[in-house]
Amino acid sequence: MTPPILRRVADLRALVADWRAAGARVGVVPTMGALHEGHLSLVRAARAGCDRVIVTIFVNPKQFNNPADLEKYPRSEEGDAALLAPEGVDVIFAPALDEVYPEGFSTKVSVSGVSEGLCGAGRPGHFDGVATVVSKLFGMTRADRAYFGEKDWQQLQVVRRLVADLNLPIEITGCATVREADGLALSSRNRRLGDADRAIAPALHRAMAAAAEEIVGGRPVAEALDAALQAIVAAGYASVEYLELRSAEGLAPLERLDRPARLLAAAHLGEVRLIDNIAVLPG
């Protein structure tokens, strides 16, 4: 069944109040739409862990530092609803812009530390926008659990920090990155890749996986990252915005693999900015 689409917070609140009164555990999957199998994996995790599932679809202007990126962000609400139909989603919440940010809206939620560097450097203000809208989505939905993808690892750390720091009554679950057969992480922005760039795209993950293996094998981090960087550009990427080894939890920069780590990257292919990250575990 295609899930009903609600636009108003008041309507969502009334529905969730009934669910909660009946003792249901409520899960939410926040998205910006243009759904793919990565999103569906979050929906399935929510379905398995909760009695009721809300998928939110809202392209949040506050997290876009680049107006062209916002303008070109793929939107496909009908297709999204059809994709969700077989997934047992109870409701789609797709509010209009002025429902989320009515006139007079003046609050900004800002998480320091984990939001600095990486995507925080390349997209100034991005994580303030994410933290602000995620705080609102949690308040609007009153969900017990929220599901986020590890593909956006830094975002996941920002959300975990936000929830811990503000004692928000919600449990965060991170879900593994879903990939194409050739290793490319599924992303809504992949739709904007032409055939030639789509063929080049998996070079990012390939180079990262090779670097991770080398680092675990004892090659100095700086050397392994330099080789990966060269391989990514040689494959046809226009530029690498960052390629860094960080501690998995606090995102501290690492020069040596002395704790569980994450290799994280953002790179530009044609006009499309792609991100990826993988685990790098000592010994």
Ligand X SMILES: Nc1ncnc2c1ncn2[C@@H]1O[C@H](COP(=O)(O)OP(=O)(O)OP(=O)(O)O)[C@@H](O)[C@H]1O
Ligand Y SMILES: CC(C)(CO)[C@@H](O)C(=O)[O-]
Binding residues: 32-39, 63, 149-152, 155, 178, 186-189
State how far Cα 14 lies from the chain centre.
Answer: 28
From ligand X, ligand Y, ligand BAL, none, interface partner of 134 (C-beta below 5 to 8 A by class): ligand Y
Which residue's entry shows tokens 């670097």? Answer: 211
65 or 230: whose CB is closer to ligand BAL? Answer: 65
Minimum distance from residue 148 beta carbon to ligand X (Å): 4
Restricting to residues 14-43, name those near ligand BAL by CB under 6 A: 32
Phi and psi torsions of 31, nearest 5°: -140, 170
39 as an active site residue: the answer is: yes
CA distance 159 to 191: 26
178 makes contact with ligand X (CB under 6 A):
yes
Among 63, 115, 154, 187, binds ligand X (CB under 6 A): 187
Residue 195's identity, in one-letter code, is D
32 makes contact with ligand Y (CB under 6 A):
yes
State how far Cα 92 lies from the chain centre.
Answer: 18
Among 133, 204, 224, 264, binds ligand Y (CB under 6 A): 133
Minimum distance from residue 273 beta carbon to ligand X (Å): 9
| Selection from 25, 241, 13, 56 nearest residue 148 by Cα | 56
CA distance 34 to 59: 10
- Where on the chain is the footprint of ligand BAL (CB under 6 A)? 32, 63, 152, 155
